[in-house]
Structure 1
Amino acid sequence: MWDAIFFSALAMTAIIAARYFASSGVFALATRFRRPGYHDRLGPQIRREISWSLVSAAIYGIPAGIVAWGWQERGWTQIYTQWDAMPLWYLPIAPLAYLALHDTWFYWTHRWMHRPRLFRAMHAVHHASRPPTAWAAMSFHPWEALTGAVVIPALVFVIPIHIAMLGLVLAVMTIMGVTNHMGWEMFPRRLVHSRLGGWLITASHHQRHHEEYRCNYGLYFRFWDRLCKTDRGLSERV
């Protein structure tokens, strides 16, 4: 049993690391074409971002691997594979619930990590990326990575979700994590400045957090920032 759990954790770590290289690599390449020179003289910073991200991949991979083993071998989780196991109307509800709960957890833990002592101990690694790049999406101190690694593994125990919808949640996490750190806005201005865009976090919103630190703490949605009056709008540099 322990061998199977070990190899499951190892496999998930490898998958997360590969996903990181693929997604960050694609958007780093897009940055080279969209913003020529943006990464010039950032070589040492990018190498640090990649090093910290590989550590984060292991921290994310271990609980994910344990949960994957438990799902397959013991039926521990609420993940299901049959389309008719739950009503079809429920399919989009689960990923929205996952994203909303993850966003809530992220907002409050992120804001908590901006307290001076915790910032120095946990969050300064991430903010050492000046300016942030696509490689910074998982560049976390291990303690910070741990706060993010437990959310989805915990939710699959309590909220039923189809395996395909779980894949959608992970895809949104990956894409938004990378694109919010690119240093340029990939989404159309018409969307970013629309009524819908006013509730979504994109690069121009998160960039302002990296510029001013004490604002724009959210991950996917601007709900908590607006409710708690920590939303300072969009960066003018993106």
Structure 2
Amino acid sequence: MSVAVPIVLSALAMSAIVAVRYMLASAGFAFATRLKHRDLYAGLDPQIRLEIGWSLVSALIYGIPAGVVAWGWQERGWTQIYTDVHAYPLWYVPVSILAYLFAHDTWFYWSHRWMHWPRIFRAAHAVHHASRPPTAWAAMSFHPWEALTGAIVIPALVFLIPIHVGALATVLSIMTIMGVSNHMGWEMFPRWMVRGGVGHWLITATHHQRHHDQYNCNYGLYFRFWDRLCGTDKGLGDFNKNAHFNKNAAV
């Protein structure tokens, strides 16, 4: 059998996994939104259908490099993914998770700023910002060119930074949960957390919503580090005045 066949099958399998992960996470947070803020997505069904459509295309794009990497790890041992938790000191497991998150956040911040250059924005990133307001279904609603910039990050990192397979699963779970929760239009974390030390450094829906409102600030994915360092952090603002951000948000 040609080596291309298992690679293609691996890519298709990973695309399916990404799509199912997206559907489950987004559906879960959308259901929570309906329970807590019943009318928040009222009248947005056409928009949500577009978000789902773009997201499923993105899932296919994300799955291709992930599938190639999965095949290379299992069949050729190409990557730095390891399965023996004692191959490195136990303290390295959380360190590797933070390293991946910071590296991903760094790539996202700078590629995201680039996506806001007018010509690039019109060609690709406008698809994501067409969600007004963003919903729990919008986290992967990207133009294919933008999806490609996001799809290569984690697959590239597994060739560079050793990581336990369970730690990698944790990174992917955090990526999915934060991506969905930061777009769902209301703040699920309590005021003391968002306004306290945790919210000072971590991005939640309150912080990211301001990016969707003003476009020229709050570009980060997980952390506020690069926004603060580069002067693009405009904080949390007062979303009680924003009709699209629920008045009960923790701001």
Q: Normalised by the shorter chain, which TM-score bucket?
A: over 0.9
Task: Report the AA paired with residue 35 of structure 1.
Answer: H
Distance 1:235 1:45, change over 3 A: farther
Q: Verify the 8 A CA contact 1:50 1:136 in the aligned structure 2.
A: yes
**Aligned to 2:126, which of 124, 127, 133?**
124
Which residue pairs with 1:16 in the alignment?
Answer: 18
Q: Which residue of 2 aligns with 1:79?
A: 81
In 1, the alpha carbon distance for the partners of 2:45 and 2:227 equals: 33
What is the letter of the counterpart of residue 164 of structure 1?
A: G
Of residues 34, 58, 63, the one that matches 1:56 is 58
Partner Cα separation in structure 2 for residue 236 and residue 14 of structure 1: 39
Which TM-score applies when normalising by structure 1? 0.99
Per-residue CA distance 1:105-161 (angstroms, 9 max, x = gap): 000000011011100001000000000000000000000000000000000001000
Tell me the distance in 2 between the aligned counterparts of 1:234 and 1:34: 21
Where does 1:167-206 land on structure 2 (aligned, <5 Å)?
Answer: 167-206=169-208
Q: Among residues 153, 156, 163, which one is paired with 1:154 in the alignment?
A: 156
Contact preservation (8 Å) 1:122, 1:141: yes
CA RMSD of aligned residues (A): 0.7
CA distance in 2, matches of 1:182, 1:224: 23
Q: CA deviation at 1:83?
A: 1.0
Query: What's the % identity of the aligned pairs?
Result: 71
1:139 to 135, 138, 141: 141
Greater Cα shift, 30-39 or 178-187: 30-39
> Equivalents in 1 of 2:45, 2:166: separation in Å?
37
C-alpha distance in 2 between matches for 1:190 and 1:38: 23
Greater shift, 228-237 or 2-11, is seen at 228-237
How far apart are the structure 2 equivalents of 1:235 and 1:26?
Answer: 27
Residue 3 in structure 1 maps to residue 5 in structure 2: yes
Determine the structure 1 residue equivalent to 2:38: 36
Q: Count the aligned residue pairs.
A: 238
Offset of residue 38 of structure 1:
1.0
Is 1:216 matched with 2:218?
yes
How far did residue 236 of structure 1 move? 2.2
**Are the counterparts in 2 of residues 5 and 69 from structure 1 also a CA contact under 8 Å?**
yes
| Offset of residue 33 of structure 1 | 1.2
In the TM superposition, structure 1's runs of 4+ consecutive aligned residues that sit over 2 Å from their partners are 235-238
Query: Taking structure 2 as the reference length, what is the TM-score of the superposition?
Result: 0.94
Q: Distance in 1 between matches of 2:237 and 2:33?
A: 18
Task: Give 3-state SS (helix, strand or coil) of 2:24's partner.
Answer: helix
Q: Distance in 2 between matches of 1:156 and 1:34?
A: 39
